[in-house]
């Protein structure tokens, strides 16, 4: 019940965890010692919690032996693998701030992150898909070919001294995984305990670079308290326990993977299963079947791809119970199919952003069906949310659209060494301004309408792309659709729909427009239709609408309209 407009706070009978990640890891490793902690199918590796702890402690002691101090930044540039997980917990135990680097980054973006964060160390996979990580790093730091491992002296990256391969390396200045871990023999258990006890739950432990649509990414700086608790309450809301086995096709470099999956499993003694280095729909279903998974994570585009597999019905998915669909608005039809065809009767929607650790809203198992398929749920435990008029900052009434803001334990410490951007995002009262437009109903459930910046203004009419997307997804021959605005001399903006058709469909542009006419307002009918088999997106599966806009403008030979 809300008495004062669009505001809600999350009640909980479970207290926040007042621990660092390293201390909690030790507790979990003892509590669940003989249970499986992680399975990496593509690497054919599986570790129990005690086996994982042994490797985490070895790497943590190696970091200490290498001279890395509490608060030093260590980057990780790699797709999903067991070494990623070991690095996550080893850096936490050693008090090092883990800088998670997008596997899709190229040398220009890597250079920015290394400089801006002041990374002293970097863990990297030698190569991935078309990216040769070692080659790109050597272009930035040619000294790696001559300097000894651990003694890099780069003219351009003065902080960077230590580079570690997740496997082996033929480059003189890069440690192989085994050689670096061997350094652990120079540190004792007491050295590691001392480093662990020097940490506080509010210390920064992770920097995640948000993929901005303009300018350079900003490094959201998160504490032990931020992400340990968010991972715990995400899994707690899903009724996780030590019997759960979670398939993780989302990238670990992002909060969805490293917080909601890895930390969610750790805090409940569950098992994380990595089906492949990066998302492959068939590998996901194979992992569910092989490992008798009870839970599956993904963004909507991942679930859509899994459901569209020609041999989907051949996979045995009856062990699935729950999971999370997040990262982008979920089409109602997709949610229904996941519920019915994938046996995920308790699947939940979650919403958040990197800057809030990430989850602020989540549906519950006992949420009414309509709420579970049409909203992002209700406020998370121990979190406050409100919806305000972005022009006046005044609280909106229930049912009134405005900007979503959130406050509480989950709000980041700030953007790394960027106080100006931090003050623009977090106001004087501690509220994080998300930039998302939302509506709260009388029961406290919230619907995300879209990004304030994604809103299309056509002839003075405010148009929210998701509404049109939902309508077009109702067509039997459309597999997926994304809507954005493009400049128009007469109306300021017009609408373009990027449409992905189902196999064997010969749907035409006219067919789609006819499907809209008389069913949605005339100004919402897309002026342009672009058929496409794929959409530009981040590695986490988030659609990059600004890239869609740029590509559409170029293809249609349009010009941006000047605004006052």
Q: What is the pLDDT of residue 213?
A: 39
pLDDT tens figures, 16-36: 999 999 999 999 999 999 999
- pLDDT-derived band of residue 461, with 50, 70 and 90 as boundaries? confident
Q: Give, in order, the Cα–Cα distances in Å from 320 to each of 274, 495, 516.
A: 16, 39, 37
pTM of the model: 0.86
Q: What is the pLDDT of residue 386?
A: 98
3-state SS, one letter per residue, for 108-162:
HHHHHHHHHHCEEEEEECCCECCECHHHHHHHHCHHHHCCCCCCCCCCCCCCCCE
**Domains of the chain, start order:** 22-30+45-218 (3.40.50.980), 456-556 (3.30.300.30)
- pLDDT-derived band of residue 540, with 50, 70 and 90 as boundaries? low
- DSSP designation for 229: H
Instruction: Give me the chain's average pLDDT, please.
Output: 93
Q: What is the pLDDT of residue 346?
A: 94
- pLDDT-derived band of residue 563, with 50, 70 and 90 as boundaries? very low
Mean pLDDT score, 34-53: 98
* Distance, CA of 399 to CA of 390 (rounded, Å): 15
Q: What is the pLDDT of residue 160?
A: 98
- DSSP designation for 27: H
Q: What is the pLDDT of residue 564?
A: 34
CB-based burial, 86-124: b 16+ in 10 Å, e otherwise: bbbbbbbbbbbbbbbbbbbbeeebbbebbebbbbbbbbb
* Distance, CA of 480 to CA of 469 (rounded, Å): 8
Is 460 a residue whose pLDDT tops 80?
no
Mean pLDDT score, 41-52: 98
Mean pLDDT score, 366-379: 87
Mean pLDDT score, 449-458: 81
Q: Rg of the chain's alpha carbons, rounded to an integer? A: 24
pLDDT tens figures, 413-443: 999 999 999 999 999 999 999 999 999 999 9
pLDDT tens figures, 161-195: 999 999 999 999 999 999 999 999 999 999 999 99
Q: Which of 89 and 461 is assigned the larger pLDDT?
A: 89
- pLDDT-derived band of residue 211, with 50, 70 and 90 as boundaries? low
Q: Which of 77 and 561 is assigned the larger pLDDT?
A: 77
Mean pLDDT score, 280-285: 98
Q: What is the pLDDT of residue 561?
A: 55
Q: What is the pLDDT of residue 124?
A: 98
Q: What is the pLDDT of residue 299?
A: 86
413: tokens are: 């410490």
Is 494 a residue whose pLDDT tops 70?
yes
Is 454 a residue whose pLDDT tops 60?
yes
- Ramachandran angles phi, psi of 114, nearest 5°: -60, -45
Is 329 a residue whose pLDDT tops 70?
no
Mean pLDDT score, 453-479: 86
Is 383 a residue whose pLDDT tops 90?
yes
- pLDDT-derived band of residue 492, with 50, 70 and 90 as boundaries? confident
Is 502 a residue whose pLDDT tops 80?
yes
Is 320 a residue whose pLDDT tops 90?
yes
Residue 218 near residue 12, CB atoms below 8 Å: no
Is 3 a residue whose pLDDT tops 80?
no
Is 215 a residue whose pLDDT tops 60?
no
pLDDT tens figures, 90-124: 999 999 999 999 888 888 889 999 999 999 999 99
Instruction: Give percent above pLDDT 90 in the chain.
Output: 80
């Amino acid at each position: 019940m809300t008495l004062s407009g669009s505001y809600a706070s999350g009640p909980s009978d479970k207290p926040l965890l007042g621990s660092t990640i390293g201390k909690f890891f030790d507790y979990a490793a003892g509590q669940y010692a003989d249970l499986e902690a992680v399975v990496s199918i593509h690497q054919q590796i599986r570790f129990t919690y005690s086996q994982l702890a042994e490797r985490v402690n070895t790497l943590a002691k190696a970091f200490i032996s290498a001279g890395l101090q509490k608060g030093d930044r260590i980057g990780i540039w790699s797709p999903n693998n067991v070494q990623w997980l070991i690095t996550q917990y080893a850096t936490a135990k050693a008090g090092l701030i883990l800088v998670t680097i997008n596997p899709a980054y190229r040398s220009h973006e890597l250079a920015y992150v290394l400089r801006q964060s002041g990374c002293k160390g970097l863990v990297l996979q030698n190569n991935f898909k078309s990216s040769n990580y070692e080659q790109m790093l050597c272009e930035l730091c040619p000294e790696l070919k001559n300097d000894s491992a651990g003694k890099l002296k780069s003219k351009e990256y003065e902080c960077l001294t230590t580079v570690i391969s997740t496997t082996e390396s033929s480059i003189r200045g890069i440690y192989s995984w085994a050689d670096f871990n061997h350094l652990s023999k120079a540190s004792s258990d007491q050295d590691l305990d001392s480093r662990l006890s020097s940490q506080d739950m509010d210390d920064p432990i992770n920097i995640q670079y948000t993929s901005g649509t303009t300018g350079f990414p900003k490094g959201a700086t998160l504490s032990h308290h931020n992400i340990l608790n968010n991972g715990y309450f995400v899994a707690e809301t899903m009724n996780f326990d030590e019997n759960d086995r979670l398939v993780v096709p989302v990238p670990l470099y992002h909060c969805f993977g490293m917080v909601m999956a890895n930390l969610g499993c750790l805090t409940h003694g569950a098992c994380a299963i990595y089906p492949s280095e990066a998302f492959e729909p068939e590998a996901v279903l194979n992992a569910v079947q092989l490992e008798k998974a009870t839970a599956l994570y993904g963004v909507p585009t991942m679930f859509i791809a899994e459901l569209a597999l020609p041999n989907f019905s051949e996979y045995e998915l009856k062990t699935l119970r729950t999971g999370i669909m997040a990262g982008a608005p979920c089409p109602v039809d997709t949610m229904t199919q996941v519920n019915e065809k994938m046996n995920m009767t308790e699947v939940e929607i979650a919403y958040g952003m990197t800057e809030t650790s990430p989850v602020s809203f989540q549906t519950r198992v006992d949420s009414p069906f309509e709420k579970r398929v049409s909203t992002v749920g209700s406020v998370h435990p121990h979190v406050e949310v409100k919806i305000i008029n972005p022009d006046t900052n005044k609280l909106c009434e229930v049912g009134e659209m405005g900007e979503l803001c959130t406050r509480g334990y989950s709000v980041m410490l700030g953007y790394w060494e960027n106080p100006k951007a931090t003050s623009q995002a977090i106001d004087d009262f501690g509220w994080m301004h998300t930039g998302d437009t939302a509506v709260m109903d009388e029961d406290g459930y919230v619907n995300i309408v879209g990004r304030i910046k994604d809103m299309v203004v056509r002839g003075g009419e405010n148009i929210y792309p998701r509404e049109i997307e939902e309508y077009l997804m109702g067509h039997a021959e459309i597999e997926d659709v994304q809507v954005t605005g493009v400049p128009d001399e007469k109306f300021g903006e017009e609408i373009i729909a990027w449409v992905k058709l189902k196999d064997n469909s010969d749907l035409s542009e006219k067919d789609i427009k006819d499907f809209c006419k008389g069913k949605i307002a005339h100004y919402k009918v897309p002026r342009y239709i672009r058929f496409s088999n794929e959409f530009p997106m981040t590695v986490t599966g988030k659609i990059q609408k600004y890239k869609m806009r740029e590509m559409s403008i170029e293809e249609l030979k349009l010009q941006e309209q000047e605004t006052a």
